């Protein structure tokens, strides 16, 4: 899986560098019209396209009802993948889009994710580094070592800011929630300074936005 993610990132960078024009149907095909894991990992690809991707992501985020009618609506990672990608494109326009989306009259899960995305965006910009992020899921366990059986140092809540010290550490001796080796990130809590390991879930996609 680590090799697969690396290939995705390399492809995203090289694709962007060659200057291909992005189209809405192409992006929709990758980020909406597919299974959960495929559309989830497409967030890495989308973020790798840089500012050229922002207008399409904005359009997609502003028309959620359109994608609710798609056959894969119940299984794709939309709109989480769009929000994640915007949070990792360092542009004032990305920030404005996320702020607009998070500030609607109704308060739902997607808007809550957008608010976490804003927090992560601002943290990375302040630190001038991509190794920082914010925990997305509702709870997590800071472990003493990279093992599901390790001693729990602290229970973490959604919104916890972190610095990723070493990403994607595989424990070949123990199985992850979706099969294959269990995967962890070595992290430091911000601003507490405590260090430990957090297990990845969701197809080994990063736990942070």
Mean pLDDT for the stretch of residues 23-28? 95
| Structure confidence by residue, pLDDT tens digits, 81-101 | 999 999 999 999 999 999 999
Q: How far apart are CA 175 and CA 209, in angstroms?
A: 24
Q: How far apart are CA 182 and CA 21, in angstroms?
A: 38
Distances (CA, A) of 152 to 62, 63, 85, 142: 40, 42, 31, 6
Question: What pLDDT, on the 0 to 100 scale, is given for residue 17?
Answer: 40
28 CB neighbour count, 10 Å cutoff: 18
| Structure confidence by residue, pLDDT tens digits, 141-174 | 999 999 999 999 999 999 999 999 999 999 999 9
Question: What pLDDT, on the 0 to 100 scale, is given for residue 176?
Answer: 85
Q: How far apart are CA 93 and CA 79, in angstroms?
A: 18
Are 98 and 54 spatial neighbours (Cβ–Cβ below 8 Å)? Answer: no
Q: What is the 3-state secondary structure (H, E, C) of 131-149?
A: CEEEECCCEEEEECCCCCC
Bond prior to 191 in cis (omega within 30° of 0): yes
* Residue 106 confidence class, pLDDT cut points 50, 70, 90: low
Task: Give the pair of three-digit tokens for residue 143.
Answer: 């472990």
* Residue 185 confidence class, pLDDT cut points 50, 70, 90: very high
Please, how many CA atoms are within 13 Å of residue 117, restricted to the half-sphere of its CB?
28
């Amino acid at each position: 899986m680590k090799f697969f993610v690396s290939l995705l990132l390399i492809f995203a960078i090289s694709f962007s560098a060659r200057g291909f024009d992005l189209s809405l149907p192409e992006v929709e095909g990758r980020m909406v019209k597919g299974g959960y894991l495929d559309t989830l990992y497409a967030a890495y690809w989308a973020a790798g396209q840089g500012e050229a991707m922002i207008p399409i992501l904005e359009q997609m985020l502003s028309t959620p009802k359109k994608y609710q009618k798609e056959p894969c609506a119940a299984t794709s990672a939309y709109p989480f993948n769009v929000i994640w990608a915007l949070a990792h494109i360092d542009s004032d326009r990305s920030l404005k889009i996320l702020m607009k989306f998070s500030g609607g009259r109704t308060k739902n899960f997607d808007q809550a994710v957008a608010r976490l995305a804003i927090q992560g965006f601002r943290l990375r910009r302040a630190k001038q580094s991509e190794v920082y992020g914010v925990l997305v899921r509702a709870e997590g366990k800071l472990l003493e070592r990279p093992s599901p059986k390790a001693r729990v140092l602290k229970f973490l809540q959604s919104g916890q800011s972190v610095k990723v010290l070493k990403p994607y550490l595989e424990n070949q001796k123990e199985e992850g929630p979706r099969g294959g080796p269990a995967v962890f990130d070595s992290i430091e809590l911000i601003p507490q300074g405590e260090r430990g390991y957090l297990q990845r879930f969701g197809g080994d996609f990063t736990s942070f936005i």
